[in-house]
Structure 1
Amino acid sequence: MELHIHLIGGKGLTDQLYQQLHEAIEHGHLAVGTQLPPTRLLAEQLQVSRKTVAEAYARLGADGLLSAVVGRGTFVCAHPQSRERELQPVTLAAADTLERWYRRAPLLGRSALQAPSRYDFVGGLSAKAQFPFDQWRACLHYALRRSQHHSERQVPAQGLGELRAAIAQHVAFARGVQCSAADVLVCNGAQQALDLIARVLIEPGTCVAMEDPGYPPARHLFQALGARVQSVAVDAEGLCVEQIAEGTRLIYATPSHQFPLGMPMSQTRRHALLARAAELGALVIEDDYDCEFRYQGPDSDALQRLDRHGLVAYVGTFSKTLLPELRLGYAVLPPAVLRAACVAKHLSDWHSPSLTQWALARFIDEGHLSRHIRRCHALYTARRERLLARLEGDLAPWLRAVPASAGLHLSALAAPGVDIELLVRLARQVEVGLYSLAPFFVETPVRPGLLMGFGAIERLDIDPALDRVRDALHSLS
């Protein structure tokens, strides 16, 4: 390493070097465990005698700040008491705005401070062990080769053309979405897609309608941008369209697998939603977050396929089908919104990582994505069937599954008298992670129940876990 040392004049060099190193350690610029350069090398860099450096090191060692390890080198071993910065705090003019951001704590999933349980029914996670890491590694090598001959300036904010074409072909086949590569915007996950769409449509006071219960990060996002969010109830057919208020500019919905309850939106309700959006001139965000995994009934195409007026923005993600760590999602946008969203994307982060885009395009083109989905479909089907069998069997006196035909989770509503919050606490005591539906409700009365993800729990772990849940329910009874 090269230290930032500046020695002045030709006298007192040892004292100068000692003082500057002492201050660097004291202020944390040289962390504990940092290896300092050998005395000969540092002397050459500073153009001083080796004796000068050795004496400075020796004095720091005597102070307990450095330690010499024979055969390895000299290391920072401790910090003296840091000086307290003499600050005179001034209240920021934006303090109220910052306070509003502090209050937007994430409500979805496990607490960052909460360790995962041995048996975990967390929603939104897939079977990471099934991911084809070897094929992905080969695609990354291909991406590195491509990047050698590709200028970063040639990557558009909208995304690499090769990846957009691969996505368009995939969603047309898997979800019936009508689009071409020109309609696709590549994003850093579905959350950025939501952010970009909302950013170009929402102004302070804009009315946004969304499902209640619904997806908390979307609600927080809309509110953070200044929107007035209207909570619209859902029933067995999905979003209650007749409740959408006049003046609504944006509608957020999960028609294929309502989040979190799970039921699909009926065809009648879908047509009603599109008709209402046309009356209002409102854009509908269709969040199709995990519907590539379907298990029963006829395949239901995306809402976007029914759109005849360019009012549906279709949002998808690879976090559920592949890996959350990829942080890649996409939006299929109508022309009126696409251009503005691309400008917002450019201002936000220029473009999504090009190496990952090259790799994913290759991964899709070589058929790895389709094979992975087919392989995981069989896995998730077995897990879902086992979970349903228990919910319809010995757990039926306490829990009732909400009908759902797709996705990576089921919701189970509680029978009257079952204390779900207490059940969640009791289950955690026996190493079972359960998750209440309550945090997803805002204005609609809470329907007590559980969101039960089966993407990340092994098939053979489901019965032992639910045996413990059953025992906890017996104790509650």
Structure 2
Amino acid sequence: MELHISLEGRRDLGGQLYRQLREAITAGRLADGQQLPPSRLLASQLGLSRKTVSDVYDRLAYEQLLVGKVGVGSFVQAPSAAPLPRPGGAPLASSERLARWEATARPLVQGPRSGFARYAFIGGRATPALFPHDQWRRCVQAALRQERGERGNYGPVAGLPELRAAIAGHAAFTRGIVCTPEQILVTNGAQQALSLLANTLLDAGDTVVVEEPGYPMARQLFEATGARVVGVEVDQEGMLVAQIPDSARLVYATPTHQFPLGMPMSMARRQALLARAGELGAIIIEDDYDSAFRYEGRPTDSLQSMDRHGLVAHVGSFSKTMLPELRMGYVVLPTALVRAVQTVKHLTDWHTPTLMQLALARFIDEGHLQRHIRRCHAVYAGRRERLRHWFGGPLAPWFELVPTAAGFHVAALVRDHVRLDMAELLRRARRADVGLLSIAPFYHGTPRRHGLYLGYGAIDTLDIDAALGIVQGILADMAA
């Protein structure tokens, strides 16, 4: 191992070594149980005699800061007392900004699986057991062999050509996207795509329009640039386009499956949104986060496929269709934005890891992604029907489902005539090991409606009946 020791001059070298090792152990920089280099090796590295290093080790062992194991080596034995705190540093010029970041909420943060309730309606999570791990493993292994000859080189900023071509074909087939591979930028998840667009397009004080209620992390991301974020209400047809202010430079929308309520944007409202953006010269970010799963009606066109003026940036994600931990996404850019957004990506992280890009390109080209989507679709459709059964029957006195045709979450709104303490419902459900989420956190202001956000990608079909049976009992008890 490399051990950082800095010796000065030629006097008291053993003392310098002793003091630095002792301070590193007591300060916790050398962890309890960590092995130190053999005395011969450390002496050679520092230009000291082996006896000098051995004497230092012996002194530390006498002070019970090291323990020697015959035939193995010397190991740190940290003192039981906690290390003294470091003295406070100098005041930072950016302390106010740091405080704002520290105070910023982190919505939708999910901890380890052990922290979830037994019955958890988690949004945005697929079922890992449905993922074709064997096929993915073969794609990764093939990518490792393919990458062998290219190791040591940086990849293209926009993404590997084979993945961009695969995404272009996939997006055209499933969403009617009209683009060339050159318009596609591969990103580390959809969230990076939003960040790149925000940093490319916004200056402090610019106006950004988001849906209300909407995706809180998009709002926070735009606010972090110093932009003025305006929430525009949604109704059963989607965003109320007439409320978009004249100053808007960027509009963020989820037209296929509104987040979090779930209804699709009507065709008339989509056309109005495109027309309004054309009037203002505003870019529209179309977040198409989970449209791969559609259950009824004719497929709706993506907003990008309707765009005739180069105003829509279409953001897609593989986290919902594959696995969140892969962190793979993309954005289909209007031609006018391609060069600028690529530059921002280059300055941010240069490129997305090439190994995963090669594996994903093969996974798409060999048809594994489409087969996986079809398999998940059948399972999710069954779960969706169980939710419709419960909220159309036993839970109907309290809630009504928002009509939706795609995705893998639904919203159940409290009926207008019902007075329900949502916080108490969530507390009682959690005590019964049922994880529910209110839609309230998705409103920036005072919620206009109250209800539940119910993700069904990660809960087993049979567990839905058990969980909602518990919820029905809690509601009946609260009403008594």
Note closer, same or farther for the CA distance 1:247–1:47 as it changes in structure 2 (3 Å cut). Answer: closer
Alignment match, 1:89: 90
1:130 aligns with 2:130: yes
Query: Per-residue deviation at 1:161?
Result: 0.8
Maintained 8 Å contact 2:440/2:447:
no
Maintained 8 Å contact 1:175/1:301:
yes
Query: Per-residue deviation at 1:53?
Result: 3.7
CA RMSD of aligned residues (A): 2.2
Alignment match, 1:470: 472
Query: Per-residue deviation at 1:40?
Result: 4.5
Maintained 8 Å contact 2:286/2:303:
yes
Maintained 8 Å contact 1:231/1:444:
no
Alignment match, 1:59: 59
Alignment match, 1:189: 189
d(CA) in 1 for partners of 2:166, 2:152: 20
d(CA) in 2 for partners of 1:113, 1:365: 32
d(CA) in 1 for partners of 2:101, 2:469: 41
d(CA) in 2 for partners of 1:325, 1:342: 24
Unaligned runs of 5+ in 1: none
Cα deviation digits, residues 353-384 of structure 1 (max 9, x gap) = 11111111111111111111111111111111
Note closer, same or farther for the CA distance 1:71–1:399 as it changes in structure 2 (3 Å cut). Answer: farther
Query: Per-residue deviation at 1:68?
Result: 2.8
Supply the AA of the counterpart residue of 2:365. Answer: D
Greater alpha carbon shift after TM alignment, 407-416 vs 98-107: 98-107
Alignment match, 2:35: 35
d(CA) in 1 for partners of 2:49, 2:344: 57
d(CA) in 1 for partners of 2:336, 2:8: 64
Alignment match, 2:225: 225
For 1:362-381, list aligned pairs within 5 A. 362-381=362-381
Identity of aligned residues (%): 55
Query: Per-residue deviation at 1:134?
Result: 2.0
Maintained 8 Å contact 2:429/2:436:
yes
For 1:5-44, list aligned pairs within 5 A. 5=5, 14-43=14-43
Supply the AA of the counterpart residue of 2:107. Answer: L
Maintained 8 Å contact 2:209/2:251:
yes
Maintained 8 Å contact 1:109/1:122:
no
d(CA) in 2 for partners of 1:106, 1:23: 37
d(CA) in 1 for partners of 2:85, 2:201: 47
Supply the AA of the counterpart residue of 2:399. Answer: L
Alignment match, 2:301: 301
Maintained 8 Å contact 2:28/2:78:
no
Greater alpha carbon shift after TM alignment, 388-397 vs 255-264: 388-397
Maintained 8 Å contact 2:140/2:355:
yes
1:145 aligns with 2:156: no
Greater alpha carbon shift after TM alignment, 140-149 vs 284-293: 140-149
Maintained 8 Å contact 2:391/2:400:
yes
Supply the AA of the counterpart residue of 2:422. Answer: I
Alignment match, 1:350: 350
Alignment match, 2:276: 276
For 1:124-273, list aligned pairs within 5 A. 124-150=124-150, 153=153, 155-273=155-273
**Structure-1-length-normalised TM-score:** 0.94
Note closer, same or farther for the CA distance 1:71–1:459 as it changes in structure 2 (3 Å cut). Answer: farther
Note closer, same or farther for the CA distance 1:41–1:270 as it changes in structure 2 (3 Å cut). Answer: same
1:427 aligns with 2:429: yes
Unaligned runs of 5+ in 2: none
d(CA) in 2 for partners of 1:114, 1:136: 26
Supply the AA of the counterpart residue of 1:82. Answer: P
Secondary structure in 1 matching 2:96 = helix
Supply the AA of the counterpart residue of 1:318. Answer: F
Secondary structure in 2 matching 1:162 = helix
d(CA) in 2 for partners of 1:254, 1:307: 15
